[in-house]
Amino acid sequence: MTTARFWRDNATRYNLMATRCGSCGKVTFPPRHVCPICHRRSMGKMEKFRLSGKGEVYSFTLVHEAPAAFELQKPYIVAMIKMDEGVMMTAQLSDCEYAEVKIGMRVKATLRKIGEEGAGGVIHYGYKFVPE
Amino acid sequence: MNVGIVSYGAYIPRFRIVPPEIGRVWGSDGEAMSKGLMIFSKSVPGPDEDVITISVEAARNMMRRTSTSPKEIGALYVGSESHPYAVKPSGTIVAEAIEASPHLTVADLEFACKAGTAGIQMCMGLVGSGMVKYGVAIGADTSQGAPGDPLEYSASAGGAAYLIGSQDLIATINGTYSYTTDTPDFWRREGQPYPSHGGRFTGEPAYFKHVSACAKGMMERMGTKPEDYQYAVFHQPNGKFPTRVAKMLGFTDKQIEVGLITPHIGNTYSGAVPLGLAAILDVAKPNDRIFAVAYGSGAGCDGFDITVTENISHFKLDAAPTIQQLIERKKMIDYATYAKYRRKIMMKEGGS
């Protein structure tokens, strides 16, 4: 049962909630309790905030051999997105063709269905990216 | 207290299919169907899109155009006949995604194609009575027609969201009037994947009777005539019905032209009048008066008399895509792709 696990991440998956270290300023996504640079100096200083949702394609690939849950979407694009806040994210790139994607292309986050637990199970929603 | 529209936003999936392609598969004359229905293409949701994702996109576009804090929203309604869950409100996910949670009331509505405008009326009541400061009403659908059914040429996807309030209005809603009867012209039983309809029965005793009665009742109550309005928008299950009913009521083609978007994207059901009204607001000028009548099978109509205010001049329209931009953003697909995306193909367990 993954319902509770996904539910805990709703703020992150829907609204790109991230953390910024109050000690060194490093942005982390998904949110962390401790900064990977400052370690204990960051304790109690991790500030939660919402990413702008905008960034650019850092690298990308086309997935031909998809897991069963993504059968309907293949081939689909997965990209590394360098967010304007500096943090790197990996996500599906939607609403564009593979040939149109370029490194450095501006993209923005959108909410899409990212999976479901069978026909009678809960539906999971989360971020994907589309051309800006 | 003046109640009206503070902001609005819309979303239309980018995939399109044309009637001749549907007709090709079923051995029907798609060209004739296209001409008869006045539908030249219809929108199709992608495999990762549903009423919730469409509603979220529309609501986010609405919020991008206003400085209103989402925490001031006291009510949110999603009107649709294709909610992804039978039990588990779409609105809860939309409210969370626009950061309006948790201090608000949320409910999903259903009244065939007019559940979105029913939400606008509910928000008007709550705002007008002072119970909430702002309410959000969304009309969105990803409707399906059974394979081979004439409905398949029109049933499409899209939605629009409206922020209803009493301050900084871009348009005042001067009045609303509804007309409702028990008329079984179109229905879908619990657990059934596709709706059923009464064929020609959906015309005269259903759409035309209710839209005409509601429009006349609305104008009678407001003391207005068709020529008092710059724009009019009627429910548009196809291009033909609203064109004909407008003529019957004395509205001109020019008055309905801007709000008639079904010929390009098909029938978006609960999204139809909200999207048509959004297309009008995209181009409206201060003091323009708009007449709107939504129709929902079953059957009922919600009429609205709206006046655009001076605030439209400094409304942040460019912060989100206009209806015209959403219509132009398109990718044509064939019937096989359409059937796959709409899950009309039986697949092995696990494929989604």
ipTM of the complex as predicted: 0.95
Residues 6+ apart with CB under 8 A from B94: B52, B55, B56, B59, B76, B78, B136, B138
Confidence of residue A69 (pLDDT cuts 50, 70, 90): confident
For residue A65, tell me if it sits in a domain: yes
Choice between B266 and B343, residue whose per-residue pLDDT is larger = B266
Q: Mean pLDDT throughout B140-150? A: 92
Structure confidence by residue, pLDDT tens digits, A88-104: 999 999 999 999 999 99
Domain ranges of chain B: 4-341
Token pair in block for residue B310? 């001076």
Q: Give residue A71's pLDDT.
A: 83
Burial (CB < 10 A; 0-12, 13-18, 19+), residue B1, is exposed
- The tally of domains found in chain A comes to 1
Q: Which of B1-5, B194-198, B328-332 has the lowest mean pLDDT?
A: B194-198
The CATH code of the domain that includes A68 is: 2.40.50.840
Q: Mean pLDDT throughout B243-257? A: 98
Q: Give residue B256's pLDDT.
A: 98
Find, in chain B, the residue whose alpha carbon is nearest to that of A109: B57
Does B237 score more than 80 pLDDT? yes
Task: Provide the 3-class DSSP secondary structure of residue B137.
Answer: strand
Give the end-to-end CA distance of chain B in Å, rounded to a whole number: 49
Residues in chain A: 132
Residues of chain A positioned with their CB less than 8 A from the CB of B340: 72
Does B350 score more than 80 pLDDT? no
For residue A5, tell me if it sits in a domain: no
Find, in chain B, the residue whose alpha carbon is nearest to that of A121: B85
Burial (CB < 10 A; 0-12, 13-18, 19+), residue B55, is buried
Please report the beta strands in B80-212, taking only residues with DSSP state E, as ranges in sequence order.
105-109, 134-142, 157-165, 171-183, 186-187, 196-197
Residues of chain B positioned with their CB less than 8 A from the CB of A77: none
Q: Give residue A1's pLDDT.
A: 52
Which of B294, B232, B293, B224 has its CA nearest to residue B257?
A: B232
Beta bridge partners of A50: A17
Quote the CA–CA distance of B291 and B250 in Å, as a whole number: 12
Q: Give residue A107's pLDDT.
A: 98
Residues of chain B positioned with their CB less than 8 A from the CB of A10: 96
Quote the CA–CA distance of A83 and A54 in Å, as a whole number: 6
B351 touches chain A (CB under 8 A): yes
Please report the DSSP string for B103-129 in residue order: SSEEEEE-BTBTHHHHHHHHHHHHHHT
Q: Which of A68, A113, A122 sits opposite B49 (nearest CB)?
A: A113
Read off the amino acid at residue B101.
S
B4-341: CATH class: alpha beta
List C-alpha distances in Å: A19 to A31, A51, B55: 5, 9, 27
Structure confidence by residue, pLDDT tens digits, A3-37: 888 899 999 999 999 999 999 999 999 999 999 99
Write out the residue range of the structural domain in which residue A95 sits: 52-111+123-132
Q: Give residue A2's pLDDT.
A: 77
Does B84 score more than 70 pLDDT? yes
Q: Give residue A117's pLDDT.
A: 87
Q: Give residue A3's pLDDT.
A: 86
